[in-house]
Structure 1
Amino acid sequence: MSIKSSLAIATGRSAYWFLHTFMKGGSSLPGKLTNRIDPDILTTLGRNYDVIVITGTNGKTLTTALTVKVLEEKFDDILTNPTGSNMKQGIITAFLAHKRSRSGKKLAILEVDEANVVLITKYLTPIAFVLTNLFRDQMDRYGEIYSTYQKILDGIANAPQATIIANGDAPIFHSRKLPNPILYYGFEHQPDGELKAPYNTDGVLCPQCHHILHYKYLTYSNLGNYYCPKCGFKRPELTYRLTALEDQTPTSSTFTIEGQQFRLPIGGLYNIYNALAAYAVGRFLKVAPTEIADAINGDQKVFGRQEVIQVNDKKVTLILVKNPVGLNQVLDLIKLEKQPFSLITLLNANYADGIDTSWIWDGNFEDLPALAIPAYIAGGEREKDIAFRLKVAGVPDSKLQEIPELDQVIKAIPKLPTQQVYVLATYTAVLQLRKKLSDAGFETAPM
């Protein structure tokens, strides 16, 4: 190791120790300092690790958490970035913070921002890439889904021997011929039918002839068993299949993958895809299906992802929303709630959220009035935008409070008329609200 690398690592680890000892943590600054001293430090830090990169629009954080739990059934030394700090500096910090064991296979399971895949693979050579999905998200940063996919492919090109573990139900992941070995996972739980995706769905043009794709069945958005009636392009053969979907509630899902039943203690069809991706990685690394089930069936609440906070007598469920597809899946999730609930929507427009908030107009907020929700709060830095969107969707003024300050939102929660409260919030709003709740002494509710 060079003197420069040694100095960089020592500086970064000292910064990490100080921040986590005296400042309640820091997932980015240690990596920034280390990278400033030695821009090639990831090559040194990642030496002797088998790296798996998990990327895509939605589901990266939960897929990473589930994958780590699955692989812990077989491997002892697993490094990851659990805070969701998924750009280069955050990944450097994850390496700095990890305490390595002296023996056995060393794995690094890394959630990586789509635009950072090429930056990471400049220094690390993964053994596998996990591709979750691609939806329109943060247009100011990524552009359309095809340009986002190209950013990912630029990173994959640095590791042509790595195995790609891709969502086979996403047409875009079957649109380009690559030299890498590819394994596909997906849903195969319904009889074949004949339908098209909704009119405003992205990514439903055949990549070969540009005809509109048809589906034998859809799960959501552009995901499903697709085919082109004009040129014959179709979904690839799946390596790992979900074969039955038995039950869904707002807090759990029961399903079967290749004969093994799972009960995921978190709701949402989109989260079943995350579990299926984790299953695929586990099988890729020879973890037995029964061991995978043991890992996935445990408590998998992830910071800000359906985390339930007890606020006096209220159970407050925090759910991250950041784009139309994810938002609509969350709205479908809360429709399953059998108990009365109040709804808080928090909209920020910082860099990490995406500064363009026009995406809220593609969300199915018009479904809300039919749910007979007794009370709404609109808040966050762009409170007026989200309040106006709710009003246009049919939410009456008499049920809607506009409260931009998060401290005041927290004070308003105990006064809401229902015990169950859902909070749909963009990324920085989740972080801000979660910190303020913690500072006020409110913590995760008991299961």
Structure 2
Amino acid sequence: MSAGSLRYGPAILAGRLTRFAARLRKPGGGSAVPGLVVNRIAPGYLKRTLSGFPQGLVVVSGSSGKSTTTKMLVAILRAHDVDVFTNPSTANISQGLTSALLERADWRGRVPGEMAVLEMDEGHGALVMDGVDARAVALTNVMVDQIDRFHDSEMVVSMLGRIAGRAGEALIVNADDANILRIADGVAPGVAVHPLGVSQGVLDGAPRGLGYSATTADRLADGDGVRVESVDGRSAVLADAGTAVPITLPARGIHYAVDAAIAYATAKAVLGDRFASRVAADALSAIPAVFGRGERVVVRGQEVDFVLVQNPASYQLNVDGIEAGTEQILFAIGSDVRDPSYFWPVDASSLGRVSIVSGSKAAEAALMLAYDGVVIDRVEPDLARAIDDFLALPAPASGVKTIVFSADSMRRTRAHLGLTGTE
């Protein structure tokens, strides 16, 4: 159980009252506001609590793949009987992290759990981790990301380097990402570096590459770390010290296999002799897709695939992962994409046809798709109407109804459909 103190009692009470009021006003909303209140009243609470888990803190950060990797890692650790506290991926900045802790804390502010595994936003994580020691840090990748926040890859490398600098025992790195390897070169003495990557065959099967800002020229040698040996749809094989480990992925795509390899390698580094590859493989194969990231849901009696796109690289990888011949697609870009032009380098031609384009940036999104030769049946800026009309279409002759959306449109879609559960 993490450390707590009587002096945090008033802050915890204020945070819970704020949470209660926020949920009265908007069911399922206001999740970060209680954390903001607690951080203001008791600024030391977050750092003290993060430092108080008996088996330490594990941090997952990077441009993309954080949410899926974190969920996979938590599943593996829990399958090894570790009591894990974790945060929803919507709570990966300081006030969100505090709100997540508040959900589990007793009146003293103490949070149950042997180990904390936290996804952290690359920008906010560097600030949150100032003065907080992590047992292990896992870094996914560096991609061209949200240009209004992370306009320069070097800036992202610097922020991730600060997070990596808090690792006291292990740093788990994507060896296919040249920028991540640069961070590993600066690791403190005594911190073990655990690499993972994909085989040359997997890379050759990704004609657009892996999406990183800089991909290393050489692949990880057999036996030098966990390696993604093959990927076929939702099936993949990891190679671990000469042993083939078959797994099932939560969704199609090489990037999901890489997420699985990072989670597997991190669990192995943290658990040591307690780690069992078969237990890890079973845990990985059993988890569902993460909140919009290749997630399949049943709404109004129909199966619908949710595909979240957050930056050009994830957009390209996820669009390429949509099964060929998918007949009905709703494409929605919202207000979180302040400048849609940074999506223009993406080739969306594989979509072929889109039933409805929606969201506050519908016009820009439709223009972008049209330049890629995508046939658009209709542009409907009103997202709620677009969702209702899309779901009212007859069942598709091929594929599953698919909604491709940015984060803002994802939240609005879930709220409109009554999918209010957290990740």
Normalising by the smaller structure, the TM-score range is 0.7 to 0.9
Structure 2 residue aligned with 1:424: 404
Distance between the aligned counterparts of 1:257 and 1:29, measured in 2? Answer: 44
| CA distance, structure 1, for counterparts of residue 311 and residue 114 of structure 2 | 35
1:379-434 residue CA offsets vs partner (Å, 9 max, x unmatched): 101111101111222234xx421111121012211343553221111111101101
Report the residue type matching 2:333 in the other structure.
L
8 Å Cα contact 1:253-1:266 kept in structure 2: no
Distance 1:297 1:118 in 2: 32
- The aligned amino acid for 1:226 is A
Q: Equivalent residues in 2 for 1:118-267 (5 A)?
A: 118-157=126-165, 159=166, 161-176=168-183, 177-180=185-188, 181=191, 182-188=193-199, 190=201, 219-221=210-212, 226-227=217-218, 239-245=224-230, 247-248=232-233, 252-258=234-240, 259-267=244-252
- What aligned pairs does 1:407-422 form with structure 2 within 5 A after superposition? 407-416=384-393, 418-419=395-396, 420-422=400-402
Aligned-pair RMSD on alpha carbons?
A: 3.1
**Residue identity in the other structure for 1:28:** A
The CA deviation string for residues 265-298 of structure 1, in whole angstroms up to 9 with x for no partner, is 3221111111111101111122210110111110
Structure-2 separation of matches of 1:191 and 1:168: 14
Deviations 1:101-134 (A, max 9, x none): x999711111100001221112421111110111
Conserved 8 A contact 1:46-1:124: yes
Q: Which amino acid aligns with 1:152?
A: L
Q: Who is 2:96 aligned against?
A: 90
Instruction: Tell me the TM-score normalised to structure 2 length.
Output: 0.85
Aligned to 2:380: 403
Q: Distance in 2 between matches of 1:191 and 1:329?
A: 14
Q: Please report how far the alpha carbon of residue 25 of structure 1 lies from its aligned counterpart in structure 2 after TM superposition.
A: 5.1
Query: What displacement does 1:326 show?
Result: 0.7
Contact 2:133-2:168 at 8 Å conserved across structures: no
Alpha-carbon spacing, 1:139–1:24, altered in 2? closer, same or farther (3 Å) = closer
Helix, strand or coil at the partner of 2:344: helix
Take 2:344 and 2:78, find their aligned partners in 1: how far apart are those partners? 41
> 1:58 aligns to what SS in structure 2?
coil
- In the other structure, the counterpart of 1:310 is 298
Could you say which residue in structure 1 is the equivalent of 2:48? 44
How far 1:71 moved relative to its partner? 0.5
Structure 1 CA distance for aligned equivalents of residues 102 and 237 of structure 2: 38
Change (3 A) 1:160 1:79: closer
Residues 238, 32 of structure 1: CA spacing in aligned structure 2 closer, same or farther, 3 A cutoff? farther
Shift of 1:313: 5.5
* 2:72 paired with 1:66: yes
Equivalent position of 1:277 in the other structure: 262
Q: Is 2:364 the counterpart of 1:358?
A: no
Which residue identity lines up with residue 347 of structure 1 in the other structure? I
SS of aligned partner of 2:413:
helix
How much does 1:223 deviate?
Answer: 7.0
Paired residue for 2:12?
A: 9
- Counterpart AA for 1:384: A
**In structure 1, what is the Cα distance between the partners aligned to 2:202 and 2:383?**
47
Return the alpha-carbon distance in structure 2 between the equivalents of residues 191 and 368 of structure 1.
23
Do the aligned partners of residues 236 and 137 (structure 1) sit closer, same or farther apart at CA in structure 2, a change above 3 Å counting? Answer: farther
Distance 1:91 1:10 in 2: 17
Q: Structure 1: which amino acid aligns with 2:128?
A: I
The answer as to whether partners of 1:313 and 1:414 remain within 8 angstroms in 2 is no
Work out the CA distance in 2 between the residues paired with 1:118 and 1:37.
22
Structure 1 letter corresponding to 2:361: R
TM-score normalised by L of structure 1: 0.81
Q: In structure 2, how many angstroms separate the alpha carbons of the residues matched to 1:280 and 1:36?
A: 37
CA distance in 2, matches of 1:197, 1:174: 23
Partner amino acid, structure 1, of 2:153: I
User: Hey, what's the Cα distance between the residues in 1 that align with 2:416 and 2:270?
Assistant: 40
CA distance in 2, matches of 1:25, 1:395: 36
Distance 1:191 1:152 in 2: 26
Deviations along 1:150-197, whole A, 9 cap, x unmatched?
01212333x25342111111011122431333211111252998x999
Deviates more, 1:354-363 or 1:21-30: 21-30
Q: Equivalent residue for 1:212?
A: none
Asked whether the equivalents of residues 138 and 356 of structure 1 are also in contact (C-alpha less than 8 Å), the reply is no
Contact 1:184/1:238, CA 8 A, preserved across alignment: no
Secondary structure of the 1:244 match is strand
| Alignment coverage as a number of residue pairs | 399
Matched AA of 2:351 = L
Q: Which AA in structure 1 matches 2:355?
A: Y
TM superposition shift of 1:59 = 0.8
Offset, 1:299: 3.3
Which 5+ residue runs of structure 1 have no aligned equivalent? 199-217, 228-233
Give the one of 386, 389, 396 matched to 2:368: 389
Q: Which amino acid aligns with 1:141?
A: R
Preserved CA contact (<8 Å) 1:16 1:26: yes
Q: What's the CA shift string for 1:359-396, capped at 9, x where partnerless?
A: 22011123333xxx3x4211101111101111222234
Query: Corresponding residue for 2:413?
Result: 433
Q: CA deviation at 1:247?
A: 2.0
AA matched with 2:37: L
Secondary structure (helix, strand or coil) at the match of 2:379 reads strand
Q: Distance in 1 between matches of 2:356 and 2:45?
A: 46
Residue of structure 2 in register with 1:300 after alignment: 288
Deviation of the 1:319 alpha carbon:
0.9
Kept in 1, the 8 Å contact 2:332–2:404? The answer is yes
| Aligned AA (2:288) | Q
Deviations 1:217-275 (A, max 9, x none): x5555676515xxxxxx869974323531521xxx223233222111232211111111
Q: Which runs of 5+ in 2 are unaligned?
A: none
Which residue number in structure 2 is paired with residue 342 of structure 1? 328
Deviates more, 1:311-320 or 1:11-20: 11-20
CA distance in 2, matches of 1:132, 1:30: 29
